[in-house]
Amino acid sequence: MLIVALSVLLITAIIALELYLHSHLSIEKFGWAFLSRSTWDPVMEEFGALPFLYGTLVTSAIALLIAIPVGLGVAIFLSELAPRRLSDPITFLVELLAAIPSVIYGLIGIFVLVPWMRNVLEPILGTTLGFLPIFQGAPYGVGMLTAGIVLAIMVVPFIVSVSREILLAVPRSQREAILSLGATRWEMVWIAVLPYARSGILGSIFLALARALGETMAVTMVIGNRPEVRASLFEPGYTMASVIANEFTEATSDLYLSALIEIGLVLFAVTIVVNALARLFIYSLSTKRGAVRT
């Protein structure tokens, strides 16, 4: 059994090693510049990962910008306002959102969200906030904003599920102390409960971020898949995960394949760091069980 347990360590190490070995063609050819070049030309064999890094960062940022307030709001509602009888089933339902396969989010994204973005939200944003460069240009429907919104829906349950347990673990005395000083319910949450739970909440956010960075199918189906760096969120973009999904089977030359694997390596490294941070935040709490469920 020890051997089996150690094999888990081994597998993790082998994954890292294989990714590194198989991307060395591209690493040798482009070096660190791979990360800062924005040409992606399979015909001329010129590869730079900047558009994908950019797309991944932008979509994940949009996702967090939406998912943090919503997720924390839901977690606060479930831990502070809703009675336990209501809170448990609602938590179950919210966690169901995380169980829905990502390809189904993509399906809904293509046929429901994209037309709605094109016809409703993007024109509205364009006319009201169009002076900002991020809301300019033609409303395609597919694009980085749409991908960010799909991602937000997908990561909310991660924030809710972990944050709620952390909030429930905040001692009663914290709440009673500030209430006895005359605080309102909200002030209690804002001044006493949230700061106490800070590191766990940060952990849940990093967990959500890791999920958003690596999400593939739903994003691939709605982002438009164009390897360019554009300021407007309406524009199609491309992410690290989706370029691998789209082009891996088409990679005809060794260098092309190697460049794609290097993108995988970068994605892998980034999610490891983010995940490790999340775990450290959550472990450091050493609260009751359940806090590390994902």
Partner 1 sequence: MNTTIPLHRRLTNIVMLSLTGLFTLLTLGILFFILGYITYHGITALDRDFFTKLPKPVGEAGGGMANAILGTIKLLALASLIGIPIGFFGGVYLSEYGKETTIGFLVRFAADLLNGFPSIVMGIFAYILIVLPMKHFSTLAGGFALGIMMIPIALRSTEEFLTLVPASIREAALALGLPEWKMVTFVVIPTAFRGIMTGVMLNIARVAGETAPLLFTAFSNRFWSKGLLEPTASLPVMIYTYAIAPYEDWHRQAWAAGMVLLMLVLVANLIARLVLHRRFFQPGAS
Contacts to partner 1 from residues 25-64, by CB under 8 A? none
191 binds partner 1 (CB under 8 A): no
- String marking each residue 95-124 x if it binds partner 1 according to CB under 8 A: -xx-xxxxxxxxxx-xxx------------
* Of 201, 267, 281, 291, the one binding partner 1 by CB under 8 A: 267
* Of 2, 131, 173, 288, the one binding partner 1 by CB under 8 A: 2
DSSP 38: -
* Of 64, 153, 167, 223, the one binding partner 1 by CB under 8 A: 153
> Hey, CA dihedral for 157, 193, 63, 266, is it positive or negative?
negative
Contact stretch for partner 1 (CB under 8 A) within 33-41, 66-74, 170-178, 229-237: 66-74
> If DSSP states are collapsed to H, E and C, what string results for the chain?
CHHHHHHHHHHHHHHHHHHHHHCHHHHHHHHHHHHCCCCEECCCCEECCHHHHHHHHHHHHHHHHHHHHHHHHHHHHHHHHCCHHHHHHHHHHHHHHHHCCHHHHHHHHHHHHHHHHHHHHHHHHHHHHCCCHHHCCCCCCCCHHHHHHHHHHHHHHHHHHHHHHHHHCCCHHHHHHHHHCCCCHHHHHHHHHHHHCHHHHHHHHHHHHHHHHHCCHHHHHHCCCCCCCCCCCCCCCCCHHHHHHHHHHHCCCHHHHHHHHHHHHHHHHHHHHHHHHHHHHHHHHCCCCCCCCC
CB of 231 to partner 1, least distance (A): 26
254 binds partner 1 (CB under 8 A): no
291 binds partner 1 (CB under 8 A): no
Taking the C-alpha atoms of residue 231 and residue 133, their distance in angstroms, rounded to an integer, is 6
65 binds partner 1 (CB under 8 A): no
Nearer to partner 1, 44 or 99 (CB): 99
Nearer to partner 1, 156 or 201 (CB): 156
CB of 130 to partner 1, least distance (A): 26
CB of 237 to partner 1, least distance (A): 17
Nearer to partner 1, 7 or 119 (CB): 7
142 binds partner 1 (CB under 8 A): no
Nearer to partner 1, 134 or 274 (CB): 274
CB of 22 to partner 1, least distance (A): 5
Contact 281, 199 (CB under 8 A): yes
Residue list 201-240, contact with partner 1 (CB under 8 A): 207, 210-211, 213-217, 221
252 binds partner 1 (CB under 8 A): no
Nearer to partner 1, 185 or 198 (CB): 185
